[in-house]
Structure 1
Amino acid sequence: MKKPNKYLLILLGMVVVYTLMEYFRPKTINWDATYRNTDTQPLGSKAMFELLPALVKQPAVTNVRKPIYNQLTEETLPANSNYLFVQGDFDIDDLDQTKLLAWVKRGNTAFISAYSFPDTLEKVLHFRAPLSPFSLADSTLRTNFVNPALRTPNGYNVRHDDGRNYLQVTQPNSPIRVLARNARQQAIFLRIPYGKGTFFIHNLPLAFTNYYALDSATTTQATGALSYLPARPTYWDEYQKQGRFSAEEQSLLRYVLKQPALTWGYYILVWSLLLYAIFAGKRTQRIIPVAEPLKNTTLDFVQTVGRVYFQQGNHDNVARKQIRYFLARLRERYALDTSTLDNELTDTLTRKSGVDAQVVAQLVLILNQANRAIGLNEADLITINAAIEKFQAAAGGGATVRRALTTYY
């Protein structure tokens, strides 16, 4: 059985140890504003989501994980209900906005708390959400309700907000009602009638986060704003903050990538395995043998055959084979009929090969004599070979096989 690679085991051990250390390390407080109803960090909104059913006198609040258009089209909502949005930026497209306006117009209520809103929605509802200059930034700026029943002597301070955000009503003598202002008397909470329904536009979403919802000094700021909602079935939007998939629908990888410690462990493992494949794999791979090209063994074969004939001393056989081979070459190269070695063949071969007529005539004569001879000896073989070589040299054609045979004779 092959032993596991020790370097790979060390690498996996380091990744596991690092992941466990990161996972169990005391967590630092995360002050990022997520507004998610599943987050328990200071600027999440889990506490407000859990307190909301009592404020709207409902057994539960429905968590929405679909775009506005899909929710209002695919789901059958009660005739009169509330739709809440608490987030940093209220960013919806034209389809969502058109569907939301039509839904509110029929007599429903939309509560939107955000720092920024689509320009198209602001134009329809006749309000703006500008920012004061940086010179007016003030994290101690207090806000308070206009309604005396909700107003407190000292107001409310959201110290994680820089105090630059506020709302403006753009239509004079409109039915829009200001429900809360900051210390500069700028509106931060509006009630906007629309058709048979109502929009509540709130410009301080941090007031609904865990830190301020659970602080006794600021908790009534959130509950007071939500007390304007009628006691109806209520829907809380999480699609714009968490997307479509709930925790139960998320894949294992999606969960890993949401946990900082697991995310770093995952990335380290992937990169480590990649580096291992590049470097360790190169060290341990088998040497690939060099494939030598096939050699031309024709000359070796001819030399071997020549040695056999030489050792046997069968000069007659060798001479006749050489003649047959030579005549076959003539037929192939010059398209001649070599069945009869006569004057006609001599003339044709002389003309086609360009060799001197005397050389060709002598060659044909020697071949004729050899064919008529009963037996050929070593001297005859040498004479035949010399005549063929002389013709080949004059004709400009090398003959490897013939040279090999000549080596031994």
Structure 2
Amino acid sequence: MKKVLPILLILVALVVTASIFVGIKHTKTVDWEESFNEKSSKPYGVSVLYKELPKLFSNHKIRTVYHQPASYLQAHSEDGFGDHVAVGSYIIIGNSNYLEDDSVDELLNFVDKGNALFISDYTFPQKLHDTLHIDVKYIANKTDSISTQKLEDFNINTIEIDRNEGDNYFSRFDSINYRVLGHSRIDYWHVNFLEIPFGGGKIYLHTEPKAFTNYNILKENRYQYVEGALSYLPENDVYFDSFTKIQTGYDGNVEKESNLGWFLEQLPFRWAWYTAIIFGILFMIFNAKRRQRIIKIIKPLPNTTVDFVKTVSNLYFETQDHKNLIDKKITYFLEKIRTDYHLDTSDLNDEFIEKLSSKSGRKKELVKKTIGYINWLRSKNEFFEDNLINLNRHIEAFYTA
């Protein structure tokens, strides 16, 4: 323990020094990954929108869906096992490429019953394109990194989305039945926001999800654009599609997620967490070693079988009781034959010799000599040491053949 203690102190000192050094020297860099994660406070997370949804849809329930729409909406249908029937608006911001055909079908069925679906993404699942007869194209930003966005039905000044390498827009759609709600411009104005009637409800497709991120909502008056875009949705409950997906079937719980991931994204919390784990492991290792009870050595029980055999054999050897030993060896040999080969040993005749040779696989001559010697011994009244030795040789020859 005394030798290990200096190593432990050095290790602890290194961990503390590393924590202080990283905390002081670490230059925070901005992560511009477009995650559209509702728990992320990074520029292109959507935590601000997520927190503002209860204000935008006041007096209505905001539910977060961590499951595939197919399993969740089926569970909350009229014939499902959920705690309510899903009615309202289903919102997806970015990451819609995970939607499989069965989820798209379930979302369309949800809209057909009089509900609304709002998706803001650069592209949409192919099944939506085929069902709604739409095409989306991309136009690169060749002059700068700014694209302009506007809504048709609101008296809102146009907003600019910077850090934008290009725009996606609807190159084909039903201009008679579909309603244009917004445009985007790089070199010219093009449609990027549609209202599509479907059954008893409506589908809203938007091609600039960065407008809903933290960076743009908190910059200047861009939040007004988001408020206007979401104002087309009916005043009803909202089902917000989470960035985190539980791929298994829905089991009755709406929200299933730990917030530990958010803490690990924060440098001070991350170092505190890892340091606590290291100290906890070290404490368990060294504390367990210090307090471990001495294990008592238990000697195994001696094997007295050999001693017993020696004692008994010496007894017979001293008394010269050859008849008793011969009788016992013959009895044990015949018992072995009865057990192994299931033969009747009451009559050791030629038929018995044939059966024993056949079942044991020994040569008939060997079996005949062994059984013959046993029959000869049974006919005698006086025995000598040579008789016992020869019997033992016959039996050993039978087993080793």
Give TM class, smaller chain: 0.5 to 0.7
- 1:106 is matched with which residue? 113
> How far is 1:77 from its partner?
5.1
- 1:140 is matched with which residue? 145
Alignment RMSD (CA, Å):
5.2
Secondary structure of 1:65's counterpart equals strand
Q: Which has the higher strand share?
A: 2
Contact 2:91–2:118 at 8 Å: present in 1 too?
Answer: yes
- 1:361 is matched with which residue? none
> How far is 1:255 from its partner?
3.6
Which deviations, in whole Å up to 9, do the C-alpha atoms of 1:153-183 show, x marking residues without a partner? xx54323443153333256765353621332
Q: Percent identity?
A: 20
Cα distance in structure 2, aligned partners of 1:44 and 1:323:
95
> How far is 1:207 from its partner?
0.5
Cα distance in structure 2, aligned partners of 1:215 and 1:9:
50
- 1:35 is matched with which residue? 36
Which deviations, in whole Å up to 9, do the C-alpha atoms of 1:208-257 show, x marking residues without a partner? 11221121153343233234334x124141434476664xx75xxx3435
Aligned: 1:237 with 2:240: yes
Secondary structure of 2:96's counterpart equals coil
Contact 2:60–2:238 at 8 Å: present in 1 too?
Answer: no
Cα distance in structure 2, aligned partners of 1:64 and 1:322:
89
Cα distance in structure 2, aligned partners of 1:95 and 1:139:
40
Corresponding residue to 2:209 among 205, 208, 214: 205
Contact 2:179–2:196 at 8 Å: present in 1 too?
Answer: yes
Cα distance in structure 1, aligned partners of 2:39 and 2:6:
41
Aligned: 1:352 with 2:391: no
Contact 1:85–1:111 at 8 Å: present in 2 too?
Answer: yes
Cα distance in structure 2, aligned partners of 1:257 and 1:267:
13
Contact 2:156–2:224 at 8 Å: present in 1 too?
Answer: no
Structure 1 residues 137 and 62: alpha-carbon distance in aligned structure 2, compared to 1, 3 A threshold: farther
Which structure has the larger Rg over C-alpha atoms? Answer: 1
Structure 1 residues 322 and 209: alpha-carbon distance in aligned structure 2, compared to 1, 3 A threshold: closer
**Residue correspondence of structure 1 range 242-257 to structure 2 within 5 A:** 246=255, 254-257=258-261
Contact 2:116–2:233 at 8 Å: present in 1 too?
Answer: yes
Cα distance in structure 1, aligned partners of 2:136 and 2:162:
20
Contact 1:91–1:117 at 8 Å: present in 2 too?
Answer: no
Corresponding residue to 1:325 among 318, 322, 326: 318
Secondary structure of 1:167's counterpart equals strand
Corresponding residue to 2:196 among 192, 195, 209: 192
> How far is 1:111 from its partner?
1.5
Structure 2 letter corresponding to 1:41: K
Cα distance in structure 1, aligned partners of 2:386 and 2:154:
130
Cα distance in structure 2, aligned partners of 1:288 and 1:43:
63
Cα distance in structure 2, aligned partners of 1:322 and 1:146:
114
Structure 2 letter corresponding to 1:352: N
Cα distance in structure 1, aligned partners of 2:316 and 2:93:
106
- 2:64 is matched with which residue? 64
- 2:228 is matched with which residue? 224
The unaligned stretches of length 5 or more in structure 1 are: 303-320, 337-343, 356-394, 396-409
- 1:166 is matched with which residue? 169
Which deviations, in whole Å up to 9, do the C-alpha atoms of 1:65-113 show, x marking residues without a partner? 35445355232455xx433222333533444333322232233322211
Cα distance in structure 2, aligned partners of 1:53 and 1:353:
102
Structure 2 letter corresponding to 1:145: K
Cα distance in structure 2, aligned partners of 1:55 and 1:287:
68
> How far is 1:7 from its partner?
7.7
**Residue correspondence of structure 1 range 286-325 to structure 2 within 5 A:** 325=318
Contact 1:104–1:196 at 8 Å: present in 2 too?
Answer: yes
> How far is 1:201 from its partner?
0.4
Cα distance in structure 1, aligned partners of 2:12 and 2:273:
13
**Residue correspondence of structure 1 range 16-27 to structure 2 within 5 A:** none
- 1:117 is matched with which residue? 124
Aligned: 1:259 with 2:263: yes
Which deviations, in whole Å up to 9, do the C-alpha atoms of 1:287-306 show, x marking residues without a partner? 9969689588969x99xxxx
Secondary structure of 1:166's counterpart equals strand
Structure 1 residues 291 and 228: alpha-carbon distance in aligned structure 2, compared to 1, 3 A threshold: same
- TM-score by length of structure 1 reads 0.56
- TM-score by length of structure 2 reads 0.57
Secondary structure of 1:33's counterpart equals coil
Structure 1 residues 95 and 20: alpha-carbon distance in aligned structure 2, compared to 1, 3 A threshold: same
Q: How many residues are paired up?
A: 314
Contact 1:61–1:234 at 8 Å: present in 2 too?
Answer: yes
> How far is 1:40 from its partner?
3.6
Contact 1:181–1:188 at 8 Å: present in 2 too?
Answer: yes
> How far is 1:150 from its partner?
4.7
Contact 1:30–1:41 at 8 Å: present in 2 too?
Answer: yes
Cα distance in structure 2, aligned partners of 1:170 and 1:352:
111
Which deviations, in whole Å up to 9, do the C-alpha atoms of 1:322-354 show, x marking residues without a partner? 997242246414889xxxxxxx877x6487379
The unaligned stretches of length 5 or more in structure 2 are: 247-252, 330-379, 394-401
Secondary structure of 2:321's counterpart equals helix
